């Protein structure tokens, strides 16, 4: 009945499809939740089901095949996909009002007639990457989408979006997968039983680290933050935290990932202080050292939140990281 490749979120997926069938689905939906839990796939499933020959998003029929392409095409018969671009990783106004994606831009595409028996779906990936001009251009259309058109905005950083955008969308919150669901996907991707403890500890119910290179980088970042918190010099420990120039990810997105890991580390050290089990239990020794320190976690947490607010501007990465490393030392 549903795409068998998607793990979890079954109740939400069922409810969304029932609302499509009964013509009760909102015109603008905002899918939120941790990065790497399948928000994009859940959103895409709605469009996929309408072209699936079995109406089940089976993943195998000719109607489903276009949705399985990597990378996903910008335009499908009933779907338009908007994503960040360039080194800054922003969704610019050209994608909304001009012809960067399709002739006439997104708003004109939204007003065209849909295929018989389908809706027109517009997927906005990493919606927190809408720059100010593009977000403002979308506001009126998000508030009153054309009949038969639905906007599907996906983000793991809803707090970084304009309040006016958030207020015009119905929020669909998705939670992290349970560890068994996430590990089933990892097993299918080639991970072995010997990796389970560290992989599930770091992944925390997400699928962010299925690629061994992504996992290795995240491990290096955790260990770098723990080393800095233990007094290691910035020059000796911080290299894994600095953005990679040749990465396909924007510098700001790489920085965001490093900062999110530090928030997890500080949260786990706080849990240990109160006698609770940390999420990153595979790094318990380093976390216990941080928990025993005299550091007031409030200062580094405030520094992280301040840095997150300015990431889209691509600030000088090394300077920002040095400031946070100093805050870790109290």
Per-residue pLDDT of the chain (330 residues; tens, 9 = 90+): 677 778 889 999 999 999 999 999 999 999 999 999 999 999 999 999 999 998 888 888 999 999 988 888 888 989 999 888 776 677 777 667 665 556 667 888 888 888 888 899 999 999 998 888 888 888 888 888 999 999 999 999 898 899 999 999 999 999 999 999 999 999 999 999 999 999 999 999 999 999 999 999 999 999 999 999 999 999 999 999 999 988 888 888 899 899 999 999 999 999 999 999 999 999 999 999 999 999 999 999 999 998 888 776 666 889 999 999 999 987
Q: Count H helices, E strands: the chain?
A: 14, 6
CA distance 325 to 222: 13
Phi then psi dihedrals of residue 164, to 5 deg: -65, -30
Would you give the distance in Å from CA 151 to the centre of its chain?
A: 17
Task: Count CA within 13 A, CB hemisphere, residue 265.
Answer: 29
The CA distances from residue 4 to 19, 58, 100, in Å, are 21, 7, 34
What is the dihedral angle through the alpha carbons of 247, 252, 253, 255, rounded to the nearest 10 degrees? 90
Radius of gyration of the chain (CA): 21
* Res 288: pLDDT: 97
* Res 122: pLDDT: 94
CA distance 105 to 53: 30
CA distance 130 to 160: 10
> Taking CA 264 as the corner, what is the angle to CA 254 and CA 221, rounded to the nearest 5 degrees?
45
> What's the token pair of residue 275?
């006698």
> What's the token pair of residue 36?
């790497």
């Amino acid at each position: 009945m549903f795409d068998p490749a998607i793990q979890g979120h079954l109740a939400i997926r069922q409810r969304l499809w029932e609302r499509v069938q009964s013509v009760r689905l909102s015109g603008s939906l905002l899918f939120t939740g941790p990065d790497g839990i399948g928000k994009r796939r859940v959103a895409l499933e709605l469009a996929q089901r309408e072209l699936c020959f079995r109406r089940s998003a089976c993943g195998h029929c000719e109607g489903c095949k276009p949705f399985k392409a990597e990378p996903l095409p910008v335009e499908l018969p009933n779907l338009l996909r908007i994503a960040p671009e360039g080194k800054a990783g922003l969704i610019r106004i050209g994608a909304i009002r001009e012809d960067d994606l399709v002739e006439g831009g997104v708003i004109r595409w939204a007003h065209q007639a849909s295929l018989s028996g389908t809706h027109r779906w517009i997927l906005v990936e990493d919606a927190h990457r809408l720059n100010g001009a593009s977000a403002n251009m979308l506001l009126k259309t998000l508030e009153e989408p054309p009949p038969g058109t639905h906007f599907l905005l996906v983000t793991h950083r809803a707090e970084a979006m304009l309040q006016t955008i958030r207020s015009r969308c119905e929020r669909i919150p998705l939670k992290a997968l349970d560890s068994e669901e996430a590990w089933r996907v990892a097993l299918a991707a080639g991970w072995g039983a010997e990796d389970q403890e560290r992989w599930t500890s770091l992944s925390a119910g997400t699928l962010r680290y299925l690629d061994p290179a992504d996992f290795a980088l995240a491990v290096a970042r955790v260990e770098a933050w723990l080393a800095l918190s233990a007094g290691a010099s910035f020059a000796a420990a911080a290299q894994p935290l600095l953005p990679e120039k040749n990465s396909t990810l924007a510098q700001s997105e790489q920085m965001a990932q490093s900062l999110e890991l530090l928030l997890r580390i500080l949260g786990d050290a706080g849990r240990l202080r109160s006698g609770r089990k940390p999420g990153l239990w595979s790094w318990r020794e380093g976390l216990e050292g941080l928990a025993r320190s005299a550091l007031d976690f409030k200062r580094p947490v405030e520094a992280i939140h301040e840095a997150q607010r300015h990431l889209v501007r691509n600030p000088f990465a090394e300077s920002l990281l040095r400031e946070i490393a100093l805050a870790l030392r109290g």
